[in-house]
Amino acid sequence: MLIFAIDDEKSALRVLHNAIAQAAPQAGIDDFSLGTDALRAMEEEQKRPDVVFCDIRMPQLDGLALAARIRTASPGTKVVFVTAYSEYAYDAFQLHASGYVMKPVTAESIRVELDNIAPPPRMPDGLWVRCFGNFEVFWERQPLRFARRQTKELLAYLIDREGALCTTEEIIGVLWEDELDMAAAKNRLRQLIMDMKKALSAIGMEEILVRRNKQLAVRPDRIPCDYYRMLAGDMQSVNAWRGEYMTQYSWAEMTGGRLHFRK
């Protein structure tokens, strides 16, 4: 394990380093007085720390700004803030920090944070739906294939609606907002629904669909999904969120915005 320790105060950095060394004696520890130096090590030297412990109040680049840039430079790195100022806790949570340590730092407080940092979510067997980044549906860790390209978009929209029943007109308005021929659009939608049912039936998962009074929905409780798990408060899913949601679909931007500001 590689750990970065960052604090602009020499005495505080020494205390932080010693606490990390006691809590994780097998880890490699790189010390930095400035966040810009740590970021340079990631971007130019291609170092990928597993965890970064950093002070929040620092010159040039404070801890909050640094954490946002770390998410781009090294997405798999966990950030734990270290500070004497509790008022930063809310900002830390907004950035989905992996932890928050109050000064004075102790080996025990570092050990607790390291123990609480969850490993990256592992794709489960069976059905798995990924909404973060590009939308994708997996079966036994392989992408589920649909005969029609927009079938996947239809399923994505139903999942985005979190189980709400959707009318034919609503779905058509989302998938083909400029479509003027309603009869042709309804026929295209019927073909997508048939394709979706066929693909799901082939893996024994047609039960996730709901048809009622010519309306269509999914059963959220039957769908393993990073989006649904994040809404339920699962911390692995919260930490997996990188600010991108169903990025190939413009209609998903509203939900992505809500996720960004939901806390």
- For every residue of the chain, DSSP letters joined together read -EEEEE-SSHHHHHHHHHHHHHH-TTSEEEEESSHHHHHHHHHTS----SEEEEESS-SSS-HHHHHHHHHHH-TT-EEEEEES-GGGHHHHHHTT-SEEEESSP-HHHHHHHHHHPPPPPPPPSSEEEE-BSS-EEEETTEEPP-SSHHHHHHHHHHHHTTT--B-HHHHHHHH-TT---HHHHHHHHHHHHHHHHHHHHHTT-GGGEEEETTEEEE-GGG--BHHHHHHTT-HHHHHH--S-BSTT-GGGHHHHHHHHH--
Both tokens of 125, joined, read 């067997």
Question: What are the structural domain ranges in the chain?
Answer: 2-116, 127-261
d(CA 171, CA 145) in angstroms, rounded, equals 21
Q: Distance between CA 257 and CA 244 in Å, rounded? A: 9
Q: How confident is the model at residue 92 (pLDDT cuts 50, 70, 90)?
A: very low
Mean of the pLDDT values across residues 169-173?
Answer: 95
pTM exceeding 0.75: no
Which CATH code is given to the segment(s) 2-116?
Answer: 3.40.50.2300
What's the pLDDT score for residue 86?
A: 56
Please state, in angstroms and rounded to a whole number, the distance separating the CA atoms of residues 91 and 235.
17
Mean pLDDT of 69-73: 84
Distance CA 148, CA 145 (A): 9
Q: Between these two residues, 150 and 59, which has the higher pLDDT value?
A: 150
What gap in Å lies between CA 140 and CA 90, rounded to an integer?
38
The reply to whether CATH 1.20.1090.10 applies to domain 127-261 is no
Bond preceding residue 224 cis, omega within 30 of 0? no
Q: What are phi and psi of 166, to 5 degrees?
A: -115, 135
Please give the residue that has the higher pLDDT: either 88 or 224.
224
pLDDT at 116: 74
- The yes-or-no verdict on residue 13 having pLDDT over 60 is yes
pLDDT at 94 over 60: no
